[in-house]
Structure 1
């Protein structure tokens, strides 16, 4: 199943930091940014998370929840969140259920070896739970600003 712009995002429930469980349908009425990153505490993922963290107030003003997702275990996610002072929750998706829902597990090459990993991707879901916008194969620099601008435009139009 491929997610399409304007289509409802299937509901999911996943373990997250702060001893919480995130259920997408519980967030109806708010916009949701879900960004997928390859691995906690790596340079690009730290920069990306920091960029979202530094814009959280602006996302809040646009009625938008930020969620980060990787295949790291909950302890690695908690440590990453605490060390970087992230002011939003991180989802631990060890079984890749959320990753597969958004089709972000891709064949990647590292040092000439192929492996399956998360393609850095971000999704913006509207207040009705429908996919409003997606970014795949993301480059970190300037990405959080672009997502924020999209969230603000969507909010202004709602």
Structure 2
């Protein structure tokens, strides 16, 4: 089963930096859940920096940012330390969360087909309903677009 727009997202838990992530524990807050391919790669680093720069604006709009990739918690901890990321990152090594949100895709890398995460962002409102999704995200300006949407919910 994958999530659907304007439907409640089933509760899920996952290993994350700073402790276990649990969707139900965020009731009353808006969640910005963004999926990215890999820690410490150029596009993913830029995206993390852009979300980090707007973290206080998201917080002021009653929103929490959480990033998701298949990297290990150790890799995430290093990425957070290096980039001073102020939010949690989920380690989805078994792709459970990726499958729930339908972000695993076949991609072409150097002429070979590889399975990987399609850069995507989802907004789950304070009632746990999926209210917006962006798939196949281009990084420049994306965090600003997400923030504008989250602020429009207020």
Query: Do residues 49 (structure 1) and 48 (structure 2) align?
Result: yes
CA distance in 2, matches of 1:77, 1:2: 25
CA distance in 1 between partners of 2:3 and 2:14 (Å): 19
Aligned residue number for residue 80 of structure 2: 81
Distance across 2 between alignment mates of 1:3 and 1:22: 18
In structure 2, the residue matched to 1:120 is 119
Structure 1 SS opposite 2:108: strand
1:79 deviation in Å?
0.3
Structure 1 unpaired stretches of 5+: none
Per-residue displacement from partner, 1:62-86 (whole Å, max 9, x unpaired)? Answer: 0000000000011001100110000
Q: Does 1:15 align with 2:15?
A: yes
- TM (norm. structure 1) is 0.96
For each residue in 1:111-151, what CA deviation from the matched residue of structure 2 results, as whole angstroms up to 9, or x when unmatched?
A: 10001000000000000000010000000000000000010
Structure 2 residue ranges without an equivalent (≥5): none
Report the CA distance between 1:5 and its aligned residue: 1.5
How much has 1:2 moved relative to structure 2? 3.3
Distance 1:35 1:149 in 2: 15
Q: Contact 2:2/2:99 (CA < 8 Å) preserved in 1?
A: no
Per-residue CA deviations over 1:75-110 (Å, capped at 9, x if unaligned) read 001100110000000000000000000000000010
Between the aligned partners of 2:118 and 2:9, the Cα distance in structure 1 is 19
Query: What TM-score do you get using the length of structure 2 for normalisation?
Result: 0.98
Displaced runs of 4 or more, over 2 A: none
Aligned Cα root-mean-square deviation (Å)? 0.6
Matched length: 154
SS in 2 for 1:16: coil
Q: Distance in 2 between matches of 1:14 and 1:23?
A: 7
Q: How far apart in 2 are the matches of 1:4 and 1:92?
A: 22
Secondary structure at the counterpart of residue 39 of structure 1:
coil
Question: Where in structure 2 are the equivalents of 1:1-158 lying within 5 Å?
Answer: 1-18=1-18, 20-154=19-153, 156=154
